[in-house]
Structure 1
Amino acid sequence: MAADTEHQDSAFDSKCVFCRIASSEESGAEMLHVDDDLVCFRDIRPGAPHHYLVVPKTHVGNCKTLSKDHVQLLKNMVSVGKSVLQKNNVSDLEDIRLGFHWPPFCSIAHLHLHVLAPASQLGFLSRMIYRINSYWFITADQLIERLQANTSTS
């Protein structure tokens, strides 16, 4: 695999709902952010007053399929998530939760960042589903650190 395929595991999967949403083939999702690489929309089952998903336009697998080549993509996803929160009047960026479900606890096998705020207002079930240091959820920072630690000198 060449290094220039950083964002593309496979460009588009017609069976993937997030691929269809990102390419505007699936209606119903209100786009809160769209750029060349990423889209952001509301989660259909919100776990907090603000619950958004940041999704790559190209089909990227789940967290376990990522490598150090994906670190910049993850950082861009975090940046978009924080930006969308700020545009939606979330001013306390310390009271947020940004992360990913860890396989096999992924409902959709297309990389998607959960952006939740305020984290202090997560309900009981959401506190479990998006729990830090659990077997089923990893924060964006933890995933980036893990990928960077698994690198050899570049």
Structure 2
Amino acid sequence: MAANEVTQPPVQADTSKSVGVPDEGYYKKCIFCKIVKREIGTELLHCDDEVSCFRDIKPGAPHHYLVVPTKHVGNCKSLSKDHVPLVKRLVETGKEILQRNNITDLSDVRFGFHWPPFCSVTHLHLHVLAPASQMGFMSRLIYRLNSYWFITADQLIELLSSKEETS
């Protein structure tokens, strides 16, 4: 196997009785779960037991990647303090993908999540956009810092960590 080749875990049959119930970390109606399971022909730039990465189909910047948990995890509001290491891993994977694509200036990168109800897919996904300075008008609005609909990875980590202190 080549160094950059990823392996695909075996697809498990859906044995859940209820429609839409996650089965072993797979939600059969979730588009991102289907991408990670290779049921859809999207190129995976990274895939391991914990996180996967692929290009956004509507890029908001020259480099726009989505980094997702390989197993289904709900949106930002469903996270707890226990998810901080996962969020950090999503960010680290995003940085690795950028470096592989010769993006080394991390001061011109945006890492963040849409805040519910402003997310189109309920599978947790980190947007990695670079260079942020080259985003168009609509992308600057959609991925706007300090808005009601978008939260940076650092802000989410801080929010989740503060839950730990008050729990």
User: TM > 0.5 between the two?
Assistant: yes
Native 8 Å contact 2:115 2:148 kept in 1? yes
1:26 to 2:40 alignment: yes
State the alpha-carbon separation in 2 of the partners of residues 145 and 61 from structure 1. 18
How many residues in Structure 1 have an aligned counterpart in Structure 2?
146
Which letter maps to 1:16?
A: C
State the alpha-carbon separation in 1 of the partners of residues 117 and 88 from structure 2. 23
The corresponding residue for 2:103 is 90
- Once the two structures are superposed, the pairs formed by residues 119-134 of structure 1 within 5 Å of their partners are 119-134=132-147
State the alpha-carbon separation in 2 of the partners of residues 64 and 79 from structure 1. 21
Deviations 1:117-141 (A, max 9, x none): 0011111000000001100000000
Which letter maps to 2:28?
A: S
The alpha-carbon deviation at position 30 of structure 1 amounts to 1.2
Native 8 Å contact 1:97 1:139 kept in 2? yes
1:67 to 2:108 alignment: no
Which letter maps to 1:15?
A: K
Deviations 1:4-42 (A, max 9, x none): xxxx99611000000011111122x11111111111000
Q: Which structure has the larger Rg?
A: 2
Deviations 1:71-120 (A, max 9, x none): 00000000000000010010101110000000000000100000000011
TM-score using structure 2 length: 0.84
- Alignment partner of 1:140 out of 132, 153, 158: 153
Residue identity over aligned pairs, in percent, reads 66
Q: 3-state DSSP class of the match of 1:39?
A: strand
State the alpha-carbon separation in 1 of the partners of residues 26 and 103 from structure 2. 32
State the alpha-carbon separation in 1 of the partners of residues 83 and 39 from structure 2. 25
Which letter maps to 2:48?
A: D
The corresponding residue for 2:10 is none
The alpha-carbon deviation at position 152 of structure 1 amounts to 3.4
Native 8 Å contact 2:69 2:125 kept in 1? yes
CA, structure 1 residues 9+83, in 2 after alignment: closer, same or farther (shift >3 Å)? farther
CA, structure 1 residues 135+153, in 2 after alignment: closer, same or farther (shift >3 Å)? closer
Q: 3-state DSSP class of the match of 2:108?
A: coil
Deviations 1:41-70 (A, max 9, x none): 000000000000001111100000000000
In the TM superposition, structure 1's runs of 4+ consecutive aligned residues that sit over 2 Å from their partners are none
The corresponding residue for 2:30 is 16
State the alpha-carbon separation in 1 of the partners of residues 103 and 93 from structure 2. 13
State the alpha-carbon separation in 1 of the partners of residues 104 and 58 from structure 2. 23
Q: Which runs of 5+ in 1 are unaligned?
A: 1-7
How much is the aligned-residue C-alpha RMSD, in angstroms?
1.6
TM-score using structure 1 length: 0.91
